[in-house]
A and B are shown apart, each in its own frame.
Chain A
């Protein structure tokens, strides 16, 4: 008997720690399964939660940036201190080369001015926005807001928001007169036909913007060939600084290039605030996940006090015992993490069309907040949950294992 035990101990000592760990796990499939599930569910949930949170923030930014602003804009230097029409620039031909490069995916010229939109029944002060109908869709989603009628095509057409249409009591095909003070200071005006009515994402765009073709706007304001701004769409929103440098170089000293963060600081702040609040929530789920993992590991190791006692009694070195237990946990964590990430990303993929929010938010579209919550998983987002899972698992298995090997064998045997 003693000889058999000694031989067992010797074979245990010879076998690799990992082999023993795997064998240990295989012997207790249910226990291993529970630990695995705890890690996988926790991690998967965290990946989904972070993707949902980032999805909302990203969508808020995307909605706002893509609605009209664009990722970057170039204006004539000093544009902030003047009326919209007073600072103008010209499109540089060298810009075209930039869209071919990696930085920009598109750019579009715009002319901005102020004017009055008039119908037989009302006249409303408006921002006049002249756009290039074919290039504008490469930087903004303006064209997608057309709810009735169509996007700009033929000359002398105008797009107005539903709110402005209501105030003017004008619909698709109706005549709207745009009266402006042109660049020379003269009062002038033109009649245009409503090409489309927008379901716009902001109150301002809905109630007080009139969009027309760039050439129509240039003729109306008497500024042939000149524009107020260039809006750019970057290929990668994280590389805006590089894009800014390239655009500045192409446009020369007279132009000022700014990113959406500088153009819309309030939006930037809101996003930062939401992002910060997101971390409070992640932290809660992190802790819950860590707790879940720690709990099951702790229980599974403590449950084995007796078994460990037996092994120690037959001569297993305590350090090796701890290593085996920790290796078991490490295998479980590795499997759990893989399973969890797979689960999380599968959930993100399953929800790729978004969770419809419209049930909770009647009439929300009128103000253009996202109506769908689309989770967006970032590669960088996996490291934090992964680290937390690994560290938790390590602590939650090392500590009880250490405790178990310190327990005297006799006492361990006595315990259930």
Chain B
């Protein structure tokens, strides 16, 4: 699940005040914005998580959205993760192994392993709006940003939502000017994140929905990332299964496992 967490966080590490701000109600005295951010991060965090998900990529290049089903084993403590592609059939068995600083890719059809070099890190991962870099980056949302209350949205999708602003610290390696996040006050889960550049132009919107209980928390099972500067593009992730605090065998994070044929 690290993968998704990483994706989410990178998205976070990405954007200006929404027009809706005007209608916000004043924020509560407690908790602090920082505490909210910490709770939100905890939604995604898990020392060892397993994920089975389907990624749906929409692009003007594609007549039909592309669906990629994958499973991921994310060992946060060991700073390592492993992804296996299940669908489409053409890519079945392909794998990605992240052993920092390297990212390895296994191509079953030709039975080769490739080390993805730094120069390819910003390439799209599996054709999505996420990059290879998004898979491996050790993002630290809490350290890289200052957090600030914007207020309470009385009617975000029919319910109250806290609105918190994430402002990157001056030297943090974050391209965005700021990020505005809508947070479910009950579940303390993120609902929507808007990414702005420093000039205040909204460039990306990530929405999270379909919250279900998993690993003692409420976890969003449907994600959507829309890059606003690329019309017709969208990447969705549908979570089929998520488990937290697993016990992972070291064997999973090896070249041998990566190159295993099923």
Contact = CB atoms under 8 A, between A and B. Distances in A.
Given A121-B203, A181-B118, A187 B176 contact: no
B18 interface: no
A177 B174 contact: yes
B173 A179 contact: yes
Judged by DSSP, the binding face of B is loop
Given A187-B137, A191-B170, A179 B15 contact: no
Nearest to B201: A120
B177 A120 contact: yes
A184 B118 CA distance: 13
B14 A120 contact: yes
Interface size class of A (residues with CB under 8 A): 20 to 34
Interface size class of B (residues with CB under 8 A): 20 to 34
Nearest to A182: B101
Nearest to A193: B170
A115 B133 CA distance: 13
A186 interface: yes
Interface in B150-190: 168, 170-177
B166 to A, nearest CB: 14
A206 interface: no
A99 B77 CA distance: 53
B175 A118 contact: yes
Given A174-B198, A186-B100, A123 B122 contact: yes
Given A120-B177, A121-B203, A181-B101, A191 B172 contact: yes
A225 B65 CA distance: 51
Interface in A179-210: 179-181, 184-191
A4 B195 CA distance: 114
A177 B118 CA distance: 15
Nearest to A156: B171
A179 B101 CA distance: 13
Contacts of B121: 116, 179, 187
A125 B119 CA distance: 7
B136 interface: yes
Interface of A: 114-116, 118-121, 123, 125, 156, 174-181, 184-191
Given A120-B175, A120-B197, A179-B133, 6 more contacts: A114-B118, A120-B177, A156-B170, A186-B101, A187-B133, A190-B173
Interface of B: 14-15, 100-102, 118-119, 121-122, 131, 133, 136-137, 168, 170-177, 195-198, 203, 229
